[in-house]
Structure 1
Amino acid sequence: MKPAPFTYRRARSLAEAADLLAACPDAKILAGGQSLVPMLNMRLARPETLVDIGSLAALDYVDVVDGHLEVGAAARQAAVAAHPLVRARLPVLAAAIGRIGHSQIRNRGTVCGSIAHHDPSAELPALALALDARILTYGVRGTAVHEAAAFFTGTFDTALAPDEIVTAVQFPLPEPGTGWAFEEVARRSGDFALVGGTALLRAAADGTVERVRIALFGVASTPVRLPAVEELVTGAALREDVLAAAERLTARTLDPTADSHASADYRREVAAHLVRTVLADAFARTPAGSPTDA
């Protein structure tokens, strides 16, 4: 398989990249290329120009900014997962990255690239939604900030304008004591997830849930939050009956997509079980301990 002809331009600065993008509306930004290049080879994407920002050192960073863990657009997934700030302050991000493809992909792919590409089966858009992340962009018209809840609009589609470049993503840092979990089901290691889910949970000293956020991926054209399930478990102790009720409510309210890889019923059943699992695992990582049957 070979891509259709295109012009390759390596940007020497972010400003130059923005100028190139504005000059060619059909251009695509290339960072790690782990999603874009296969689409080029299969001719699912046919841009006239590729603008490479992968070598811009100013975009290759991980830092804490205003209570957020900020990841630059050129930061590779493997490097982000191994970064001390991520390990100490946002381990769920490292866990999510660890589920992405194989090591070769994570060594080249970027965190921001995965979010900008927005495959509905991808891990990082769902985590961005669960954490209320902010996507920072730049273009010839200036800078902009997109909230994750409004950024993902459909399969491989986002609110990103054709002349905007994602420069960084900001993940809010959870409060100390927040438990987390990230799980997915795939046919084999390295495959795209059939269904996946993440949860972040803060518990009171008496073991009741103070705050919780749940997001699923692989079940729709965008990541999905579960506000009804979050409301159900908030204020409750995560006993067996509450976890079972959360599982049932997920199955009743979720309307998954079907494709050649899995039926809607299969995705519904697996997603409901994953919600139960990530809630229990997230609670187990809080100071309050683990769920009981009492």
Structure 2
Amino acid sequence: MYEFEFARPTTLAEAKAALAEEDAQALAGGQTLIPSLKARLAMPSTLVSLSGIPEIKGVCIDDEGRVCIGGGTTHATVAREAAAHYPALASLAGRIGDPAVRSRGTIGGSLANNDPSACYPPAALGSGALIITDSREIAADDFFAGMFETALEEGEIITEVRFPVPERARYEKFAQPASRFPLVAVFAAKYADGARVAVTGASEEGVFRWTAAEEALSSDWSVEAVEELKAEADGMIGDIHASPEYRAHLIGVMTRRAVAATL
């Protein structure tokens, strides 16, 4: 580690002012940023903690029936408070990392970081969520721009995420035992106007929608509808954990498991 200033604002306005300073960086739950600081992969002059801002925390239901989650809300809180309204989302949150990670990590931090194996990006993309920042609204389809890249501008803060609740949904992940990150995971959701299927952990481009599965499931929400579908291995991650071909295979497996769990 190295020396840096630390700010803990209590309002969104204070946080914006602090982030306007040169080389300032936002700190949400810190589950990714703190290890990056230790490895000197990130070296901000000031860390601006968002953990003391009540206005960006909490879970509620809006007039349109969407589950609205503050950007500073922890995974543990989502798992507990969203369970009655969006069980698939709550189940996903309850399986992120371990209790320590779930008690500190936040939905806003996860989405802003956009790790290629993170759990919340496929939930947002698979739900057609709306991501609210301090200055605008961004549809999930327009938010994710590649591995560790998003549509966020410098200093922009995710204040809320609004999830339309589907008729059926499930998140299935093939987890790495050590990190508990998904090797491959799929979030599948059935809405009145069609299906959405989002994949994480597989592609070199990060989270993506599997359109072939969406088309099949929009016509027939059943395991049989996707039984013969196969994802292409081109562009998939290959590393010590799995080959591109194996990750492509797991996409089909996790999609079928997700659909089966909703029947």
1:222 aligns with 2:206: yes
Q: How does 1:23-102 map to 2 (within 5 A)?
A: 23-24=21-22, 26-67=23-64, 68-83=66-81, 86-102=82-98
Aligned residue type for 1:23: E
Distance 2:12 2:222 in 1: 48
Number of the residue aligned with 2:11: 13
Number of the residue aligned with 2:252: 272
Deviation at 1:50, TM superposition (A): 0.6
Number of the residue aligned with 1:207: none
Q: How does 1:1-294 map to 2 (within 5 A)?
A: 3-24=1-22, 26-67=23-64, 68-83=66-81, 86-138=82-134, 143-174=135-166, 178-188=167-177, 190-201=179-190, 211-220=194-203, 221-236=205-220, 238=222, 240=224, 242-245=225-228, 249-252=229-232, 255-282=235-262, 284=263
The CA deviation string for residues 95-138 of structure 1, in whole angstroms up to 9 with x for no partner, is 11122100111011111111111111011011000111111111
Distance 2:130 2:154 in 1: 18
Shift of the 271–279 alpha-carbon distance from structure 1 to 2, 3 Å rule, reads same
Distance 2:50 2:77 in 1: 17
Moved more, 182-191 or 120-129: 182-191
Deviation at 1:12, TM superposition (A): 2.6
Distance 2:121 2:221 in 1: 29
Alpha-carbon contact 2:146-2:207 (below 8 Å) kept: no
Distance 1:187 1:113 in 2: 21
TM-score under structure 2 length normalisation:
0.92
Distance 1:43 1:213 in 2: 38
Q: Which has the larger radius of gyration?
A: 1
Distance 2:151 2:188 in 1: 25
The CA deviation string for residues 37-85 of structure 1, in whole angstroms up to 9 with x for no partner, is 11111112111111111011222211112422111122111012101xx
Alpha-carbon contact 1:255-1:268 (below 8 Å) kept: no
Distance 2:158 2:217 in 1: 35
Deviation at 1:189, TM superposition (A): 6.3
SS of the counterpart of 2:215? helix
Distance 1:73 1:239 in 2: 34
Q: Please tell me the root mean square deviation across aligned C-alpha atoms, in Å.
A: 1.9
Alpha-carbon contact 1:243-1:279 (below 8 Å) kept: no
Deviation at 1:184, TM superposition (A): 0.8
Alpha-carbon contact 1:112-1:166 (below 8 Å) kept: yes
Alpha-carbon contact 1:229-1:250 (below 8 Å) kept: no
Deviation at 1:243, TM superposition (A): 3.4
Alpha-carbon contact 1:101-1:189 (below 8 Å) kept: no
Deviation at 1:260, TM superposition (A): 3.0
- Tell me how many residue pairs correspond in the alignment: 261
Alpha-carbon contact 2:11-2:54 (below 8 Å) kept: no
Aligned residue type for 2:58: Y
The CA deviation string for residues 129-185 of structure 1, in whole angstroms up to 9 with x for no partner, is 0111111111xxxx21111111111222111100211111111122xxx12111111
Distance 2:232 2:27 in 1: 41
Aligned residue type for 1:65: D
Number of the residue aligned with 1:292: none
Alpha-carbon contact 1:137-1:145 (below 8 Å) kept: yes
Deviation at 1:250, TM superposition (A): 3.0
Deviation at 1:235, TM superposition (A): 2.4
Structure 2, unmatched stretches of 5+, are none
The CA deviation string for residues 2-53 of structure 1, in whole angstroms up to 9 with x for no partner, is x2322111113211110111222x2211121112111111112111111111
SS of the counterpart of 1:170? strand
Alpha-carbon contact 1:214-1:225 (below 8 Å) kept: yes
